[in-house]
Each structure stands twice: as C-alpha cells, then as structure tokens.
Amino acid sequence: MSFRWLPALLWLSAGLLLITALVDLPPAWREALIAAVVGFILLALYFVRRFCTRFSDLQERANELSEQVETLTLELTRQQRRRLALIDGIPIPLLICDEHAMLRHANRLALEWFGFRHMTGKSLLALTFCYDLFLLMLKAARRESAVSGEITFSFPKERHTEAYIWYLGEADSHKLFAIALIDKSELLRLEQVRRDFVANVSHEFRTPLASIRSLAETLHDDPQMPAETRQRFLNLIVQEADRLARIADDLLTLTRAESMQPVREVFELAPVIQQAVQEMESEARRAQVSISAELEPNLRLFANRDQILQVALNLLSNAIRYNKPQGSVSVRVYREGNHAVLEVADTGIGIPSEALPRIFERFYRVDKTRSRETGGTGLGLAIVKHIVEAHGGRVEVESEYRVGSVFRVRLPLHATEPSEPQSL
Ligand code: ADP
C-alpha cells in the first residue's frame, strides 16, 4: 500500500464515524463500526509515521545531494581557474574563439601582444586587425579540425608568425577553437643576419683572393718583367695573403668568443693593460703616435685574461691606426663604483656622428680604404663588444669628427676571490 491510500482511509473513517453518529444502529453494528474506524485511524497513523520517516530520509538525501553539487561546483570552478592559469602561463600567445570567431579567452601574452587589457566577447578581427587570421579561424570552424598557416601581423607592430588552430569541443552550445601564435620574427631576423654575415665573409675573402690571382697571373704571363716590378708584385701578394690570414684569425676569435664559455680567473687589470701598451709600442712608433698610460693599481677582475688583453689590443690598435702623425693615445684604467674602466682616447681622425651607432657591427668601416691600408678587418670592435658584454660589461664611445675618439669599457670588479680558476 502506498501513501495514495491515506486520504481515502481518512475519508472512510470520517464517513463511518458520521454514519455511527447520525444513523440509529443496533449496538453490535455500532461497536463494529467504531472498531473499524479505530482500525482505519491506526492504519492511517502507521502510514503517516512511515511517510514522516521516508520524508526525513529524503530530506537527508537531498541535503547530501546539494552538498555534493556544491563540492562539484567548487571543484569545477577550481578546475576552470587552473585551466585559465595554465593558459595564461603558457609563454606563447593563445586565444580561444567560438565558431563565429568571437573571442572567449585570450591569455596574458596575447593581450600584451595586441596591447589590450581585457578583450573577451569581441571579434577576433577587432583584437588582431588581421584578416588572414580571421579567415584561417573561419576555415577551422568550417572543417571542425586543425589548420595552420603563416600569418603576418602589422598591428601594433610587424610580426611574422605561424598560427595553429585546433578544435577544442563544445561548451555552452558553442564550438570552441584554440589559436596559438608562434613568433618567427626573431628566427627570420637571425636567418637574415646569418645570410648577411656569410655574404660579407665571402666578399671580404673574395677581394684579396682576386688581387692575389691577378698579380700571380701577371707574374706568370710576363717572364721578362723587371726584377723591381716582380718584387713589388710579390710583396703585394704577401700583403694580400696576410690580410686573408688576419680576417680568418679575427673570424676565429669572434667565433670562439661567441661559442665557448671563457675560463675565468682573478687577476689585476693594470698589468694586462701595461702588456697591451708594450705590445703596441712598435706599431705606435711606426705611425708616429705617442702612447701614455695612467693605470690605477689593485683593480681585480674575475674574467678571461686573454680576452681582456685582446680588447685592449684592439682598442689601442684602432687608436693608433686611425690617428694622425704626431698624434697621441692616452690609456687610463680607473675605478668607478664597482666597475673598472678602461679608457682609450686618441687625437685621431674621429668618427662622424651618423657612423657611431654602426661601428660595432661586423665588417662595418667608416673608411674602407683606410681600414684596409692599415691592416683592418672590420671585426675588431665587434670582437671587443662581444667579449665585454659576455663579461657583463659595457662599451661606449664618444667621438668628434677630425678631433678624436674616446672608447670606454666598463667591467664589473671582482667581489669575492675564488681560490682556483673556474669555468662559468
Ligand atoms: P677595422 O679593422 O676596420 O679597424 P674595427 O671593427 O676595429 O674594424 O672598427 C670599425 C670601424 O670603426 C673602423 O673601420 C673605423 O672606421 C672606425 N674606428 C674604430 N676605431 C676608431 C678610432 N679610434 N678612431 C676613428 N675611427 C675608428
């Protein structure tokens, strides 16, 4: 029997009671009816009790269920937060769009890229101003599959990317897609730098090689050539071969500085600079340039000694080669805060202001002929810059055209002295 019978039982009991009260029945019938009414009422009470027990069970179950729902909702919110944190933390710009290319989420880097603080709910086109990406997104939506393509953005700055779009599934009756943008601009720039470098190197090698070849051919074709001319030609061949060797040496120095971790040791800067000055003295004499040095003692570096010597030699060589006869070079070493400064000043030809930002580039020369005539390779300052920066230092230049130049190298002083030479 179910609770459906409860009202019927109550109505029946009430009906029987009414009959007992209103109809004049024989006492035996009356007693039977009253007994039946009492029975029905007891039955009804039994049902009410069962109903109450079931009801409280149900209430308990409902409470349990609502607790479970609450826990699940909390877990879902946590999961969603974790997912968003994951997406936000990914170090590539990531966008989530629906099938109409409306933005549902953009991670932090994507917003940074496009210069927005908050962007969901807007069209992908309004965020990126890139029609190609918009079309690619619609293509992915049509196919409901992964697509990719090269996309170039011009807003807010030019970027060359590879865009990957893939289908995530449905949520809130919308199809969702993820868009990841891989920036290839730096790669393309490096590729261009590499191509330019290779082109420059072959050009640098080709010029002396062409001279050697034509001089050798002339010597070969003219056996009657006067001995004096022959000697001059042979000297030129030796000079060009020396030039080739210098370029190869400088290229090797640069490559080594770039690819190898320098072995460092603690040493005093002044004696190294003194050594460089001594090594350059004969070259200075030949160029009729005087060198003076003022070197503060006790400035210790934790650095690669040979490379620091190379920096000093390159700067001194330039100060002598780009000087005027009777000119001078003054070298100073002094302390500035927790840095040692190497300063090489000359009274030479100076550098035009428009050329200053470029002189540290590989193979850049202000005056190609002068550089070549004095044995330059166009790599000296590139080597200086690379070594100094690899040691956590900085190099700067001040120059006045036709008056002279000052090169300053700042290197961090050694703080605590290790017991043995160490490799970084
Ligand atoms: P290079 O082997 O030609 O000297 P560097 O890389 O050492 O190459 O220098 C690049 C260019 O910077 C030089 O060709 C020269 O034009 C200019 N330069 C460097 N140092 C000086 C200086 N002290 N005075 C004038 N010009 C300089």
pLDDT, one tens digit per residue, over 385-424 is 999 999 999 999 999 999 999 999 999 999 864 444 444 4
| Ligand 1 proximity of 361 Cβ (cutoff 6 Å) | no
Does residue 139 surpass a pLDDT of 80? yes
pLDDT of residue 80: 86
Backbone angles phi, psi at 162, to 5 degrees: -110, 120
Which of these ranges, 131-140, 179-188, 410-419, has the smallest mean pLDDT?
A: 410-419
Torsion of CA 263, 243, 248, 205, to 10 degrees: 150
In this structure, the dihedral spanned by the alpha carbons of residues 147, 153, 155 and 158, taken in order and rounded to 10 degrees, is 150
Please tell me the predicted confidence (pLDDT) of residue 416.
64
Report DSSP state, residue 340.
E
Question: Using one digit for the tens of pLDDT, what is the confidence trace for 253-295?
Answer: 998 888 888 899 999 999 999 999 999 999 999 999 999 999 9
Q: Indicate the top mutation candidate among 246, 359, 370 to test ligand 1's pocket, ranked by most ligand atoms within 8 A of CB.
A: 359
Nearest ligand 1 atom, CA 375: 2
Against a cut of 0.75, is the pTM above it?
Answer: no
Q: Which two tokens stand for residue 151?
A: 């996309």
Over 80: is that where the pLDDT of 245 sits? yes
User: Residue 366 pLDDT > 70, yes or no?
Assistant: yes
Distance 275 CA to ligand 1 centre (A): 22
Q: What are phi and psi of 339, to 5 degrees?
A: -125, 150
User: Which range, of 13-27, 192-206, 213-227, 366-380, averages the lowest pLDDT?
Assistant: 13-27
pLDDT at res. 3: 65
Average pLDDT, the chain: 91
Q: Please tell me if the CB atom of residue 318 comes closer than 6 angstroms to any atom of ligand 1.
A: yes
**What average pLDDT does the segment 68-84 reach?**
92
